[in-house]
């Protein structure tokens, strides 16, 4: 079988055994002080026994890099595109100190063969942890020819550039034992097969961190317009562009077993298949929530099929959902998803999702939150809490890119069933409102009566009152109680390079274009009395979050409007469908001395010298639970960066929640504290 030196010679290409096609690590336990770097193609790296627990690679006390790196040397930053590489029959020991909680519950795999760590490693003791995976896959050869055409990766023909099989990944200090992501210029990751592994104490993260646009700017894949509008700009579909797009493509997970208290699979890639895997959650009192399977907005061509997800939720443990999905061209079928604290399958802001033939039962099991998640939950909403964004401030504070979120579109939900209703839920399927910023609009292809209802209830779908639908639901449904007043996030924000015009006639320039405002109400769109907007070119907020804590009032530097909705025709004395514009004198705030106009044909332009609202080419739209206001706004030349705030109010005096709660207040005064403003981003005029 050889010695460890023979293996190192084989791996490094020097001495006896150099450059053999199979590099074998003898059985035993090896503590690593530097990564094992796989830097050549056509090699199999394997443990000395078919029993993967016999060859252990242990993170050394001071190792803050991955245990194994494929295609990239973390010390020299040299990269090599690899193909025909196999990693098998090994156990990766991340050396996290917590293998059990105080009550003796195992942290992950109950058959963990790794030695217990008595002292924190440098990875664990670093502030926030060192964040590195145990296996880092950063650079492969270009995609195999069989997988290049559209839909071809789903044929699973092979061969693959990289195969990871029959390994164990234990005690990850980062929560991501495997990381699949190009991180340097010219790197790509294509055609990776991960099969028959045990992955514990975390999961696999897929991502892309180096792709730049034609102007040399990093592409923000948290913004759905980057992938949804890709084909319109670049001709080739986003998932099939193998020339320009460096997002990982054709990543397949087959027959793996996971032990997790957070995500088993997260991030985004193209042609991601997750098939015939088993996910076992375990009791753990701390850790992340989210979904066991999470796929982000620009994950494209995703198939999640024939998996078993065991939530095993118990009171006192971390709370999760089975799936948290935001992606494009998504298929979820023939899975069994059970006993999660929240929903079994969450479908949020997806594009062309098909949810069929899944057995989803015993979910929404936390009695403290029960009755709003169901077995399947559908919404237009953001991952986590909607956050504001801000432009580049300084070298120290490089800013936060704006993320635009799509409405759920082209959704199909058919032939799903629940084998039991052990939690006594009123509906197996919920269409819920989102959070502050959501349009609460859901575009439906099919939600029909083929979804088997609980024997104890007669209605399949519960719909929150401020959810607006395109398409129809033929399944039995009923409007639930609940909901809130929310603002609809301003769009566009942050000068998105692939953002589309907002309808015919949009000037779509830096100094003049259509902007979307609006609000939703659980009492219906007729309950919204006012939409307020405040666009400001000054900021006295925190240095690392310009705009936050506002809006800020500086003479000659803002555009503040008040819009009375069409519902005012029968509800108040205020003129309906009319917009009022403030001047830019702080002493006249809320006096709206710069004029007013109706919105739409017959309106006129109103201006305060800093901005002009072309009311005649502006418009509004009413739906069941929301009002959308499209304003044609022109900024004064050379006015710079505008921070964009919004608020809404109902006839009952209820308001949106706002996202500008600051304590203590920022130093600049005066600033507006009422109504509760939400900052949605910024726009840079010329």
Q: What is the pLDDT of residue 88?
A: 98
Indicate the pLDDT class of residue 105, thresholds 50, 70 and 90: low
Using alpha carbons, select from 295, 403, 370, 293 the residue that is nearest to residue 337: 293
Indicate the pLDDT class of residue 31, thresholds 50, 70 and 90: very high
Q: Average pLDDT for residues 24-34, to the nearest whole number?
A: 94
Q: Average pLDDT for residues 162-169, to the nearest whole number?
A: 98
Report the range out of 119-133, 257-271, 535-549 with the highest average pLDDT: 257-271
Instruction: Considering only residues 374 and 384, tell me which one the structure prediction assigns the higher pLDDT.
Output: 374
Cβ atoms 138, 182 nearer than 8 A: yes
> 249-259 b/e with 16+ CB inside 10 Å = b?
bbbbbbebbbb
Q: What is the pLDDT of residue 210?
A: 75
Instruction: Considering only residues 384 and 203, tell me which one the structure prediction assigns the higher pLDDT.
Output: 203
Q: What is the pLDDT of residue 128?
A: 66
Q: What is the pLDDT of residue 2?
A: 57
Asked if pLDDT for residue 669 goes beyond 50, the answer is no
Domain ranges of the chain: 21-210+246-288, 486-684
Q: What is the pLDDT of residue 461?
A: 93
Collect all residues with Cβ–Cβ distance below 8 Å to 660 and sequence separation of at least 6. 548, 549, 550, 645, 676, 677, 678, 679
Q: Would strands 678-684 and 641-650 be described as parallel, antiparallel, or unpaired?
A: antiparallel
What is the pLDDT of the chain when averaged over all its residues? 88
Q: Average pLDDT for residues 2-27, to the nearest whole number?
A: 79
**6 phi, psi to nearest 5 deg:** -60, -40
Q: Mind listing the pLDDT tens digit for each residue in 569-590?
A: 877 778 999 999 999 998 888 8
Two tokens, residue 477: 């449904």
pTM, full prediction: 0.93
Q: What is the pLDDT of residue 463?
A: 92
Q: Average pLDDT for residues 250-279, to the nearest whole number?
A: 94
Location of structure tokens 């089975």: 322
Using alpha carbons, select from 417, 280, 267, 270 the residue that is nearest to residue 335: 417
Alpha-carbon Rg of the chain, whole angstroms?
27
Q: How many CB atoms lie within 10 A of CB 7?
A: 22
Asked if pLDDT for residue 412 goes beyond 60, the answer is yes
Indicate the pLDDT class of residue 670, thresholds 50, 70 and 90: very low
Asked if pLDDT for residue 46 goes beyond 70, the answer is yes
Q: What is the pLDDT of residue 397?
A: 74
């Amino acid at each position: 079988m050889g010695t460890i030196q023979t293996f190192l010679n084989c791996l490094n290409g020097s001495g006896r055994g150099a450059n053999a096609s199979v590099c074998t690590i003898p059985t035993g336990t090896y503590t690593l002080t530097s990564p094992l770097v796989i830097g050549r193609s056509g090699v199999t790296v394997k443990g000395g026994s078919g029993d993967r627990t016999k060859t252990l690679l242990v993170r050394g006390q001071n190792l803050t890099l991955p245990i194994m790196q494929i295609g990239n040397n973390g010390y020299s930053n040299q990269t090599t595109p690899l193909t025909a590489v196999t990693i098998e029959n090994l156990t990766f020991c991340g050396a996290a100190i917590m293998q059990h909680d105080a009550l003796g519950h195992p942290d992950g795999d109950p058959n963990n063969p790794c030695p217990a760590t008595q002292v924190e490693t440098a990875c664990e003791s670093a502030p926030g942890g060192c964040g590195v995976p145990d296996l880092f896959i950063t650079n492969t050869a270009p995609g195999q020819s069989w997988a290049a055409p559209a839909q071809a990766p789903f044929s699973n023909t092979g061969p693959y550039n990289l195969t990871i099989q029959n390994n164990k990944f234990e005690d990850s200090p980062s929560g991501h034992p495997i990381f699949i992501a190009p991180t340097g210029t010219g790197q790509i990751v294509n055609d990776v097969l991960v099969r028959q592994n045990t992955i514990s104490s975390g999961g696999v993260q897929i991502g892309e961190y180096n792709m730049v646009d034609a102007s040399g700017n990093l592409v923000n894949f948290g913004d759905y317009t980057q992938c949804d509008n890709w084909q319109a700009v670049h001709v080739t579909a986003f998932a099939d562009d193998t020339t320009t797009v460096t997002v990982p493509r054709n990543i397949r997970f087959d027959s793996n077993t996971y032990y997790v208290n957070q995500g088993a699979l997260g991030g985004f890639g193209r042609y991601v298949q997750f098939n015939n895997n088993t996910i076992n959650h375990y009791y753990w009192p701390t850790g992340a929530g989210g979904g066991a399977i999470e796929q982000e907005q620009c994950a494209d061509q995703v198939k999640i099929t024939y998996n078993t997800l065991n939530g095993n939720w118990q009171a006192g443990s971390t709370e999760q959902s089975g799936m948290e999905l935001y992606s494009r061209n998504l298929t979820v079928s023939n899975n069994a998803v059970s006993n999660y604290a929240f929903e079994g399958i969450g479908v949020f802001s997806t594009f062309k999702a098909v949810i069929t033939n899944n057995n989803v039962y015993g979910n929404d099991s936390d009695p403290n939150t029960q009755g709003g998640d169901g077995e399947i939950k559908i919404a237009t909403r953001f991952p986590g809490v909607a956050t504001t964004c801000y432009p580049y401030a300084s070298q120290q504070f490089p800013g936060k890119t704006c993320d635009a979120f799509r409405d759920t579109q082209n959704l199909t939900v058919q032939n799903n069933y629940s084998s039991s209703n052990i939690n006594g839920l009123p509906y197996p399927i919920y269409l819920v409102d989102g959070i502050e910023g959501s349009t609460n609009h859901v575009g439906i292809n099919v939600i029909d009566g083929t979804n088997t209802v609980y024997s104890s209830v007669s209605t399949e779908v519960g719909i929150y009152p401020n959810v607006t639908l395109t398409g129809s639901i033929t399944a039995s449904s009923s409007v639930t109680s609940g909901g809130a007043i929310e603002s609809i996030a301003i769009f566009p924000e942050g000068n998105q390079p692939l953002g589309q015009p907002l309808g015919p006639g949009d000037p779509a320039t830096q100094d003049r274009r259509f902007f979307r405002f609006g609000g939703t109400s659980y009492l219906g769109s007729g309950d919204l009395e006012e939409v307020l907007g405040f666009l400001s070119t000054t900021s006295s907020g925190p240095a690392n979050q310009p705009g936050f804590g506002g809006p800020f009032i500086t003479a000659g530097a803002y555009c503040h409007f008040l819009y009375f909705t069409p519902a005012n025709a029968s509800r108040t004395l205020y003129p309906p469908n009319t917009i009022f514009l403030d001047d830019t004198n702080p002493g006249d705030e809320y006096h709206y001395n710069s004029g007013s106009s109706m919105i739409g044909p017959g309106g006129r332009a109103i201006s305060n010298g800093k901005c002009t609202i072309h009311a005649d080419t502006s418009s509004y739209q009413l739906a069941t639970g929301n009002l959308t206001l499209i304003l044609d706004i022109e900024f004064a030349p050379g006015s710079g960066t505008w921070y964009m705030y919004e608020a809404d109010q109902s006839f009952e005096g209820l308001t949106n929640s706002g996202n500008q709660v600051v304590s203590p207040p920022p130093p600049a005064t005066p600033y507006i504290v009422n109504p509760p403003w939400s900052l949605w981003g910024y726009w840079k005029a010329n």
